[in-house]
Amino acid sequence: MAKPILVANWKNRPGSLSEAKALLKNLSKKSRLYKNLSVFIAPPAPYFDLVSTRTKNFAKLASQDIPPLSQGTFTGMITPEILKSFGVRLAIIGHSERRLLGETSTDVSEKIKTALRSGIAPLVCIGEKNRDADGEHFEFLRDELKKSLAGLNARSAREILIAYEPAWAIGKGAKDALIPSELTQSVIFLKKQLADLYGRSVAESIPILYGGSVEGENAGSLMRETYIRGFLVGHASLSAGSFEEIAESLISKP
C-alpha cells in the first residue's frame, strides 16, 4: 500500500531565513518518522535551496504554484525549469488563496498541463467557499473540478493529486474543520465525479488529500474514518511539534 501523503504549505512563512533554519532543524529531529510517509514541503521560493538541502533524507521539495507557461521571458515568473533545478517534485495548483486573488479554473487547467509536461506532479486544490445544508455546494465542487481538469485525458489524470480544501475551514482551529462523516461525503462525491470523467480505475488511483484546519487534535479521526490519503497542512506545518503530531496520526493504528 502506498505511503500516506503529507504536504506542508508554508505560504509566506517563516518570516526570516534564521526562523526557517530553526524550523528545519527541529523537523529533522524526527526524520525517521517522516520516512514512513511521502512528505513534501512547499516553502517560499527564497528558501528553496535551504529546504532542498536540509530535508533530503526525509522530504521532497514542492512549490506553492507554477506558471501557466513553460517557455518565454516573463519578469517575476519562476519557470518549471528553475523549479526542477532545485528538485521540486510537486506543485500546489489552484489553492483557495490564489483563487481569491482572481485565479480561475481555466488558469488552473493550464497550470496542470504545464506541470505535467515538466514532470512535476500537480496537487490540484478544490473546495467550496461555503457549505450549505441543502447540498448546493456539491454543484460548486462538480463545476470547479470539471473546469480545473478540462482537457486532461485519463492517462494524464493518473499523475495528479487532489486536495479537497473547503475555503471556509482554512486558517482556523481543529474544531472548525469538517467532521469525518462530512468529509467522507465530499470525498465520495469527488471520487464519483472523477469516475464519470475518467473511469473507476483512474478515479481510484488519484489520491485525495484534505486541507482545512488540520491539527494533531483532529488529524487521526479524519484519516482513520474517511477515504483520504493524507493532508495538505498550512499553519500547523510551521510548528515542528504540531507537524509531528499530524505525521504520527497518519501512521498510527486505529
Q: At what angle do helices 17-28 and 240-251 cross, to 10 degrees?
A: 30
Strands (E), the chain: 5-9, 38-42, 60-63, 88-93, 121-126, 161-164, 208-210, 230-233
Catalytic residues: 95, 165
- The 3-state DSSP class for residue 246 equals helix
Please give the torsion angle defined by the CA atoms of residues 80, 233, 180 and 246, in that order, rounded to the nearest 10 degrees.
130
Q: Is the dihedral of CA 37, 47, 56, 61 positive or negative?
A: positive
- The 3-state DSSP class for residue 54 equals helix
Give the 3-state DSSP-derived string for 177-199, with helices as H, strands as E and coil as C.
Answer: CCCHHHHHHHHHHHHHHHHHHHC
Residue 80 CB-half CA count within 13 A: 23
Of the chain, the end-to-end C-alpha distance in Å amounts to 16
CB 8 within 8 A of CB 41: yes
Q: Is the dihedral of CA 176, 125, 250, 44 positive or negative?
A: negative
